[in-house]
Amino acid sequence: MLKLFKALHRGLDGPTLLLAAGLALLAASPAQAQFDDAAAAVILRRGQVLDAQPALHGPAFYLKGDGLPEAGSFNDFAHQVSDRPLDVLVLGASYFDYDGECKLLSTLEQVNSCTTVLLRRPEGANDPEVLEALKHAEIIYFRGGNQCNLVAWRDTPIQEAVVQLVARGGGTGGGSAGLAIQGALAVYDGCKGSARSPLALASPYGATVSFAPSLFDWEPLDATLTDSHFVKRDRMGRLMTFLCRQLANGKRDDAWGLGIDEGSTIVIDREGLGTVYGDVAYMVHADRSSGGCEGDSEETSPVTYLGFKVWRLPVGSTYDFYDRPAEGYYKIDVVEGVLSANPYTGPVSSGAGVAVSSSNSPPQ
């Protein structure tokens, strides 16, 4: 099996393009690169050739509301993982001729190298060269695309490699679809199409409201389901539907949802303290069972749930994911699929477990 390996070396006269099998020099310009459409996995590297191998003092998590990382917040995130430059790996199953994340990240002072690993087919999750690349990363970032492809990596060596990285103090996270797989409660998998808020609220067991078991059990995201593009695509209603579904039929006592808007990021440090960059994020809590999602068919009545608790977290605010606040929220009711108020414009959260910067910007 042939996988393309492109190393864009700092300090050389020009980039080199290598074929992993045999390490044959193929070209001297990225514009000449040709992707092998038959390969199950594609590997591309930018930055330094030699791995950094820094000491780690994480774990830390980078949660992005859309797909492409943002330079400032990612550099801060990398500092939460190590004081020295480190090696980043971007993992995805979409956009096979694109390595935009690494093109950006490889320019950061805190990044020694950035490798893009793209899996075209599920068997790529067992490829030895993919697994070897994962072992050399201090941060693994899941790119956007379609999370239905990503949930297929459950119970594979990829999942194990990410868990081991976090256990040794590394960092992980993702954007858009890559954010969707980070929650420990369940994953909205999108395998039957995208669920839109009005339809999800009206039909909580509709075909598009589908879930997969969680891939990861990150402590800061315990009992939490994550969602992206949050305000931009009006996803509060569907997130509330997802939580209602998780409580239905006595499956559990409470459920949390984390919604992050486009252009927004939450960086969670080793102490569980999350800082909001960019714009806004929301935590939503459903803390009692509800009869409004009882059933298991598309004929189930629209969502009814009184008292969703919502914390609005603007840029610069911090939220304690280990000791979650019991105050500072506003409430939204849902009756027969209709929300009682605009869910995005409640008061900025405050109180124990939440802090808002007076400058309205992340700490430096």
Cβ atoms of 195 and 298 closer than 8 Å: no
Other CB atoms within a 10 A radius of the CB of residue 343 amount to: 23
User: Which is nearest to 312 in space by CA: 351, 352, 284, 273?
Assistant: 284
The fraction of the chain above a pLDDT of 90, given in percent, is 75
Tell me how far apart the alpha carbons of residues 118 and 190 are, in angstroms, rounded to a whole number.
20
- Using CA atoms, how far residue 313 sits from 31, 36, 69, 330, in Å, is 42, 44, 19, 12
Residue 121's pLDDT is 87
Tell me how far apart the alpha carbons of residues 53 and 351 are, in angstroms, rounded to a whole number.
40
Domain residues of the chain, as ranges? 183-364
Residue 67's pLDDT is 85
φ, ψ at 276 (rounded to 5°)? -95, 130
Tell me how far apart the alpha carbons of residues 47 and 50 are, in angstroms, rounded to a whole number.
9
Partners of residue 256 on adjacent β-strands: 224, 285
pLDDT single digits (tens) 119-170: 988 888 999 999 999 999 999 999 999 999 999 999 999 999 999 999 999 9
User: Which is nearest to 332 in space by CA: 220, 263, 257?
Assistant: 257
Cβ atoms of 3 and 42 closer than 8 Å: yes
- Using CA atoms, how far residue 293 sits from 160, 180, 305, in Å, is 34, 22, 8
φ, ψ at 109 (rounded to 5°)? -65, -25
Mean of the per-residue pLDDT values for the chain?
87
Residue 253's pLDDT is 86
Residue 290's pLDDT is 63
φ, ψ at 242 (rounded to 5°)? -60, -45
- Model's pTM, two decimal places? 0.89
Low-confidence ranges of the chain (pLDDT < 70): 1-38, 249, 290-291, 295, 297-298, 351-352, 357-364
